Amino acid sequence: MPVRLRIGPKLMVALAGLLAATVMVSGVAVAGLGAVNARTQELYRHNVLTTQAIAELQARLDDAAESALQLLLFERPADRSRLQVELRGRIVPAVDDGIEALREIYAADPDVDQAGWNGSSAGGRSSSGWWKPAWTPAARRRSRR
């Protein structure tokens, strides 16, 4: 004997089926959004933060180069002394901080060859020794050889 349903219960069954399908599609969409969010976060950490750190380091290196060139132009010892204090006190430590920030970013990146990165920075020595003024006695002895 066939079941005779009125229009109300038929609509209720149809809407229940539609609701179940909507919930399943929503679940798939939420899972997809989670994956997109994870990839976006990785892209941000890998590309944006790295690019920002590199740009900041480049700006600090430009400051160091500009100050080094100004040392060549200054003739008065007072001007040279002031610039040397600025280099040692502000610019060189800022460059060291930028190099260290890049090391930290690359240390967390599994795609980077850690041995190559750590060994190649500053010619294989620590970053704090990257800048040696040309007017030191050791530098003068090296240039005479």
pTM: 0.54
The DSSP secondary-structure symbol of 75 reads: -
For residue 133, the SS3 value is coil
pLDDT digits (tens, 9 = 90+) for 36-91: 999 999 888 888 888 999 999 999 999 999 988 988 888 888 988 998 898 889 99
Whether 83 and 67 have beta carbons less than 8 Å apart is answered as yes
pLDDT digits (tens, 9 = 90+) for 79-117: 889 988 988 899 999 999 999 988 888 887 767 666 655
Query: Among all chains, which residue has been given the structure tokens 């989670």?
Result: 34
Query: 96: how many CB neighbours lie within 10 A of its CB?
Result: 18
* Per-position b or e across 21-38, b if 16+ CB within 10 A of its CB: eeeeeeeeeeeeeeeeee
Query: Tell me, what's the pLDDT at 125?
Result: 42
CA–CA separation, 120 and 14 (whole Å): 67
d(C-alpha 56, C-alpha 116), whole Å: 22
Are the C-beta atoms of residues 80 and 74 closer than 8 Å to each other? yes
